[in-house]
Structure 1
Amino acid sequence: MSRVIVLRPEPAASRTADGARAMGLDVAVHPLFAPQAVAWTPPPPEHFDALLLTSANGVRLAGAGLDHYRALPAYAVGEATAQAMKEAGFAAVTSGSEDGSAIARRIADERRSRVLHLSGTTVAAMETGPLHVTRVAVYSMIALPPAPALKADAVPGSVLLVHSPRAGERVAEQFPEETRAGLHIVAIGAAAARVCGDGWASVTHPARPRDDEMLALARRLCE
């Protein structure tokens, strides 16, 4: 059986690995990054009429500053982020299963305009339309040292799951072109796929940037 290699940071890596194992797939987990809290100053909550988080890492690593915004309408990208917000004490969270641009449209449709986005130091491109978005970084992703076990586990036929353009860049660095011919890439989207470079057995991405759709593509490659 072909192997699926999960490269995203924990704890999301374990969720993806559990989903892959539920499909009967052979899984190895090798995070390329680890989230780390950064110091931040909470802006006044009265300056905003909505709170947005696009990663559960933002919820976990924002610290006590997150408490300032419990009265704001809360929005999240992804069920994992929404669940983390609920566990942090937000009673009602509106979630979207696609990306930041989709949830931004939802916020605008609900006639909110001043949005506080608690994010990482690097953020995926997001079309904000008429919204005025104030982005405050509350965590960063620290690159982990290359792990020899990653290359050992990446046997021919393996499928590498690439959940961000930064991860794609690291994969391209760690796998020289002459080592790629037997390996497949399933990326979260076109941008992440593009930076992985050439020479792979295949490079694909789902129509929507969803973990379950990435796993569906990986399963087909493993059949």
Structure 2
Amino acid sequence: MRPVAVLRPEPGNAATAARAEALGLTVIRLPLFVVRAVAWHCPDPADHDALILTSANAVRFGGTALASLRGLPALAVGAATATAARDAGFDVVETGDQDAVALIALAHARGFSHALYLGGRDRMVAPGGPIAATVTVYASDALPIPAEAIQQLRGAVLLLHSARAARRLVALADERHRYRIAALSEAVRDAAGPGWDGSTVAAAPTDAALLAAARSLAD
């Protein structure tokens, strides 16, 4: 069976690796990015009617300023983000099972019109529609990856949790036909482009679904 390579940053890397190993998969850990907190100014909660969260990193790295926003109903992408938000004291009223675009549409359908979006420096969400403001609370910085490390992944199934990771992999990996990829969503696979030895997409944007998809390529 082919090994699977976990490319996401910590602490998600260790969590995904542990789930993969519990399934009997051989795991290679190679984070492409490191996540860090950034200084940010917390807007007045009275100016907003909801909180949009598309990554658990917004909660993990948001710091003490998050406390003043706990009175806002929160909408989250994915169970992991929702769990992190609840653990931090937020009232999660909706958990989306797709992506940020779908969650924003859900916020609009719920009647929210002045939502606050907390995300990363390289987020792909801009103000508009139900989102009144966006604030960067964390950054994901690229780690130096030697060519030899990527070459050692040849033959493995590479797990892609984000479009940014997919684009980074494209820049790092030559001879794509030597690698297989499992993507968290269609958008992530699209970001990786064609030419891989094989590719698949998770049935849902969850670690469990991604690992199930990867296993189908690893067998």
Confirm or deny a common fold (TM above 0.5): yes
User: 5 Å matches for 1:77-116?
Assistant: 77-116=77-116
Matched, 1:143 2:142: yes
User: Aligned equivalents of 2:174 and 2:92: distance in 1?
Assistant: 47
| SS of match in other structure, 2:178 | coil
User: Aligned equivalents of 1:8 and 1:113: distance in 2?
Assistant: 33
User: Aligned equivalents of 2:100 and 2:106: distance in 1?
Assistant: 10
User: Aligned equivalents of 1:192 and 1:51: distance in 2?
Assistant: 24
| SS of match in other structure, 1:181 | helix
| SS of match in other structure, 2:213 | helix
User: Aligned equivalents of 1:188 and 1:125: distance in 2?
Assistant: 18
| SS of match in other structure, 2:86 | helix
User: Aligned equivalents of 1:205 and 1:92: distance in 2?
Assistant: 27
Moved more, 71-80 or 98-107: 98-107
Query: Number of paired residues?
Result: 219
Shift of 1:104: 2.0
Matched, 1:221 2:211: no
Structure 1 vs Structure 2 CA RMSD: 2.3
User: Aligned equivalents of 2:91 and 2:127: distance in 1?
Assistant: 27
Aligned AA (2:48): F
Inter-CA distance 133–215: structure 2 relative to 1 (3 Å threshold): farther
Shift of 1:198: 4.2
Inter-CA distance 112–153: structure 2 relative to 1 (3 Å threshold): same
Shift of 1:170: 1.7
User: Aligned equivalents of 1:25 and 1:127: distance in 2?
Assistant: 41
| SS of match in other structure, 2:192 | coil
Shift of 1:210: 3.2
- What residue number does 2:52 align with? 52
1:13/1:29 contact within 8 Å kept: yes
Shift of 1:77: 1.2
Aligned AA (1:54): T
State TM-score, norm by structure 1.
0.87
1:162/1:187 contact within 8 Å kept: yes
State TM-score, norm by structure 2.
0.89
* Identity value in percent: 41
| SS of match in other structure, 2:89 | coil
Gaps of 5+ in 1: none
Moved more, 189-198 or 10-19: 189-198
User: 5 Å matches for 1:184-203?
Assistant: 184-203=180-199
1:101/1:127 contact within 8 Å kept: no
- What residue number does 1:165 align with? 163
* Deviation string, structure 1 residues 30-76 (Cα, Å, up to 9, x no partner): 11001111111111111001011111111111112111111111221
* Deviation string, structure 1 residues 143-202 (Cα, Å, up to 9, x no partner): 00104673364142x10111222211221222112xx33320112233332343444211
Moved more, 201-210 or 73-82: 201-210
Shift of 1:142: 0.4
Matched, 1:117 2:113: no
User: Aligned equivalents of 2:214 and 2:197: distance in 1?
Assistant: 13
| SS of match in other structure, 1:41 | coil
